[in-house]
Chains A and B, each alone.
Chain A
Amino acid sequence: MSVLIFLDQSEGQIKKSSLEAASYGAKVAELMGTSADAIILGTVNDDLTALGKYGIKKVHTIKNDSLNSLDAQVFAKIIADAATAINANVVIFSNNFNGKAIAPRLSVRLKAGLVSGAVALPDLSNGFVVRKNVFSGKAFANVSITTAVKIISLNPNSYSIVTTDAVAEVVELAVTPGTSKVQVTATNKIVGEVPLSEAEIVVSGGRGLKGPENWALVTDLAKLLGAATACSRPVADIGWRPHHEHVGQTGLAIAPNLYFAIGISGAIQHLAGVNRSKVIVVINKDPEAPFFKAADYGIVGDAFEVMPKIIEAVKKLKQG
């Protein structure tokens, strides 16, 4: 019996969402009275023994450059073999872009029930029940996995990283990856920006900002806070902001610690992508804007007057 956690890397660095999965997995192992192993594919720069900090006992790696880009088919086979070899009865992923590609395939390979989008530790008091988001964050479902092996895919930003000072053992697996049918011909990363899906603070603007020329009100605050920027759907549709910033029902669903909504009405489809944020701040000149119902803090006022003062105040605070 053991727990296996898949750790996802990009350009040699383990993703933050994977470290959350590691802490979560270590806790699951503790609840089950067993230990947690991790598997990481491709070449990683980080010192893997340091993963002990997150509660990982043993790290299995395959240092092979061909595994630096994802082919879910190849990955699922390797992870399935590793899970079987260590007799894992729970496998954990982050429900990030790669997790969404691999976990379902692994579910079929291992005939293991999968709950994706988990937001809490499993309840072991009556079987194995995992809580997940459904209805785009508007509700939760408690899902029972009835198979011997179980797979959980944890929503980013729903479990806090816990660290100790333990050291992990690292073993290199002698595995030759299967031939990939997916050839990656280009990658295009927006450099220097915090990826929206991993950001702890997000500053977001809507149609109330009137035009792209006014976006400094959003980006200046984001820069000061080390935050990612986002926008409502019409803003991306009109081309004021790039499409990858669109959050909501049809865009990205995020769950940062702090979400700033500036000049966004708070339509139900927008809320569906941001309602899992821990603290929501709304700046809107209309007191009737539906967003205020979902907000924790707010200012009823003109963003063009209020935002420069907020930016100044944050600047002062950061300068200490």
Chain B
Amino acid sequence: MKILVCISKTPDTTAKIAFTDNNTKFVADGVQWIINPYDEWYALVRALELKEAGLAEAIHLVTVGAADSEPIIRKALALGGEEAIRVNSDNHDPFYIASQIAAVAKEGNYGLVFTGKETIDYNGSSIGGMVAELLDMPYVSLATKLDLEGDSAIIVREIEGGEETDKVQLPLVVSCQKGMAEQRIPNMKGIMGARSKPLKVIEPVAAAILTTVVSFDLPPAKAGVKLVSPENPEELVRLLHEEAKAF
């Protein structure tokens, strides 16, 4: 059984968010790019653990991105995985991206396809579900645990105010979040080894584009904090009740 892990590139969590060109473009100057945390810490690491436990034969990584995604996918390969595929497109429409991933997944005949919970820039939380539908496979979203038992996966997923355990036959698509695995730091051997791992670049398959971003904007600045004296916390309760009408 092979696992495909979807890797996306996002601005660092502390990056300054700004837009230019009439608010149509994200200002990427000086932004540090990272592997989307959910893809790295949870999806990829859990896949590696399954391989280390002898439950998966190989881990392949896929990213849909232009040439500037290569450092990111190499960084992911430094953590592990045998090979990576980059689909050469920088389109951001979720359906378009999912179509590319589904094409790669079909070709490779994977037992599990892992995505992160969401990208921390687009926050779509939608690629995994789309890939699953395109592949006609079950989808378990927002998984916090995954184990394999024969040809089934035992998955814990988050629901409102609790969790649910599902048993699902492979193949399937899973979106991964906190709980799946512990963050790992790549070591020198991994970083050196990643340089010689195969990174296949393929051209995108034809796919429809269903949405386009027209513009971005930033939330209005806060009016500023109203400070209450620590000697008189009762005043805070009064303000929240009478002024903010918060309770």
Contacts and interface: CB of A to CB of B under 8 A. Distances in A.
A136 B134 CA distance: 27
B33 interface: no
Interface in B188-247: 208-219, 222-223, 225-230, 233-234, 236-241, 244, 246-247
B159 interface: yes
A259 B144 CA distance: 25
Given A105-B133, A188-B164, A297-B244, A141 B237 contact: no
Contacts of B159: 10, 97-98, 187, 189
Using C-beta atoms within 8 Å of the partner chain, give the interface range for chain B. 35 or more
Contact of B237 (A185, A194, A314): A314
A186 B164 contact: yes
Contacts of B219: 137-140, 275
Contacts of A101: 129, 139-142
A51 interface: no
Nearest to B231: A301
B54 interface: no
Given A145-B211, A201-B247, A297-B225, A184 B129 contact: no
From DSSP, what is the main secondary structure of chain A's interface residues?
Answer: mixed
B187 interface: no
A141 B164 CA distance: 33
Interface in B132-148: 132-134, 136-142, 144
A72 B137 CA distance: 10
Contacts of A183: 166-168
A212 B95 CA distance: 44
A309 B178 CA distance: 36
A115 B94 CA distance: 9
Interface stretch (B13-21, B56-64, B65-73, B103-111): B13-21
Interface in B142-181: 142, 144, 154, 157-169, 172, 177-179
Interface stretch (A19-27, A106-114, A160-168): A106-114
Interface stretch (A41-49, A53-61, A82-90, A242-250): A242-250
A293 B222 contact: yes
Interface stretch (A31-39, A127-135, A169-177): A127-135
Contact of B169 (A138, A143, A181, A269): A181
A307 B236 CA distance: 11
B161 A189 contact: yes
Interface residues of A, number: 98
B6 to A, nearest CB: 13
A100 B237 contact: no
Contact of B129 (A15, A72, A137, A296): A72
B139 A72 contact: yes
A258 B37 contact: no
A100 B123 contact: no
B198 to A, nearest CB: 30
Given A115-B211, A258-B244, A298-B225, A141 B13 contact: no
B95 A100 contact: no
A268 interface: yes
A181 B161 contact: no
Contacts of B212: 143-144, 146
B244 A133 contact: no
Contact of B126 (A104, A109, A138, A314): A104
A279 B162 contact: no
A268 B139 CA distance: 32
B216 A134 contact: yes
A313 B129 contact: no
Interface in A62-78: 69, 71-73, 76
A91 B211 CA distance: 15
Contacts of B125: 95, 100, 104, 116-117
Interface in B74-105: 94-95, 98
Given A134-B122, A142-B214, A185 B178 contact: no
Contacts of B210: 107, 111-114, 145-147
A111 to B, nearest CB: 7
A55 B85 CA distance: 48
A131 B129 CA distance: 21
Contact of B240 (A196, A281, A300): A281
B5 interface: no
A134 to B, nearest CB: 6
A313 B234 contact: yes
Nearest to A105: B133
Given A104-B128, A184-B164, A279 B240 contact: yes
Given A72-B129, A105-B132, 18 more contacts: A72-B138, A72-B141, A73-B132, A73-B139, A104-B130, A107-B95, A108-B129, A142-B216, A142-B217, A181-B138, A182-B168, A188-B163, A197-B161, A258-B247, A296-B225, A299-B229, A309-B234, A313-B238
